[in-house]
Amino acid sequence: MQVMQPSQDNDKSAHTPGEDTLPCVLSFNANDAVGAGGLTSDALVMASIGTHALPVATGAYLRDTRDASGWVAFPASAIDEQARAVAEDVPLQTIKVGFLGSAEAVAMVAAFAADYADVPVIAFLPDLSWWDEPEIETYLDALRDLLLPQTAVLVGNNTTLRHWLLPESTTDRRARPTELARAAAAHGVPYLLVTGLALEGDRVGNVLASPDAELFSQAFERIEAGFMGAGDILSAALAALLATGSELTHATAEALQYLDQALDHGFHPGMGRAVADRLFWAESDDPAEAEGDAPQGEPPIHIPNPSNDIQH
């Protein structure tokens, strides 16, 4: 499994992409009407890094910024048709796997990944505590048995990964990233990116690990606000950076920096948790433009309110 240098051997068309072609990342993920995670977030992150997202919808979250109330799953056949239609036309550099929503969808994505074995798979394990317990168990069993053997890098929060990979240590917060990596490696995963490690003071650690060593680590100041979608952002950024040809440890460092900046510029669109600003880099350094002032010499453009023209 080649993680460092993604292959483009899956191009089955006669056309050879030119130098103006962006690296393409196929993302299996859910629609999120909040825009905090899912395909919306993946597309924003991947575009920010200079890649093109190929979004494959697996279903839709039913949630607001406060909590999730349910999930609408797409049939596995519909997910498969989406993915294969685009993959037969567009060369893939990496595949990002978010929430798939059913064991059947996991089996389909695993089969797809096996057919494109030269394309690295970056898989993210989200928090599933909002879901029903039987569905969680069935889903995680399918991930463990079918998708992990196809995964190059598994991304997840320390607590979520520990409860899944080392269930006997659920009360032991001192489990090291290499222990988690060894547990993941037992199912075929060569690299693990663990987030949310509690450190001394008010800092949070993140570690890229193999079964043998911690390959890279970075810590940030804890941000007090509760956020949605951080793991989706990190895994999408990592998949995009690897698609551009970045080496794994460098891609991990850049992805973590991107996430930290996006969270630092976060905002509250609703009454619940905050949402990261994935377009923080587009903010102007010009105070006048930042305050909404039009450039000198150009008249402001006023957009009419249609309701003003309605006669009652």
Per-residue pLDDT of 198-238, as tens digits, reads 888 888 899 999 999 999 999 988 877 688 889 999 999 99
Q: Quick check: is 202 in a domain?
A: yes
CATH number at residue 253: 3.40.1190.20
User: What's the one-letter identity of residue 305?
Assistant: N
Q: What is the distance between the alpha carbons of residues 136 and 99, in angstroms, rounded to a whole number?
A: 12
Higher pLDDT, 275 or 224: 275
Packed helices 248-264 and 38-49: angle between N→C axes, nearest 10 degrees = 110
> 279 pLDDT exceeds 80?
yes
Q: Quick check: is 14 in a domain?
A: no
What percent of the chain lies above the pLDDT cut of 70? 82
Beta-strand runs (E) in 173-259: 191-198, 203-209, 214-221, 227-228
Q: Quick check: is 165 in a domain?
A: yes
Q: What is the pTM of this model?
A: 0.86
> 309 pLDDT exceeds 90?
no
> 250 pLDDT exceeds 70?
yes
Kindly report, residue by residue over 12-56, the tens digit of the pLDDT: 444 555 567 899 999 999 999 898 889 999 999 999 999 999 999
Radius of gyration of the chain (CA): 21
The mean pLDDT value of the chain amounts to 86
Q: Both tokens of residue 272?
A: 């619940």
> 183 pLDDT exceeds 80?
yes
Q: What per-residue confidence (pLDDT) applies to 115? A: 98
Q: Quick check: is 58 in a domain?
A: yes
Cβ(135)–Cβ(103) below 8 Å = no
Q: Both tokens of residue 304?
A: 């009419």
Q: Quick check: is 3 in a domain?
A: no
Q: Report the 10 Å Cβ neighbour count for 239.
A: 35
> 67 pLDDT exceeds 60?
yes
Q: Quick check: is 221 in a domain?
A: yes
Q: What per-residue confidence (pLDDT) applies to 214? A: 96
Cβ(62)–Cβ(68) below 8 Å = yes
Kindly report, residue by residue over 119-152, the tens digit of the pLDDT: 999 999 998 988 889 999 999 999 999 999 999 9
Cβ(276)–Cβ(263) below 8 Å = yes
Q: Quick check: is 11 in a domain?
A: no
Q: Show the domain range for 82.
A: 24-309
Question: How many domains, the chain?
Answer: 1
Q: Dihedral of the CA atoms 139, 143, 146, 152 (nearest 10)?
A: 160
Q: Quick check: is 290 in a domain?
A: yes
Q: List, in sequence order, every residue forming a beta bridge with 96; answer none if it has no partner.
A: 27, 122
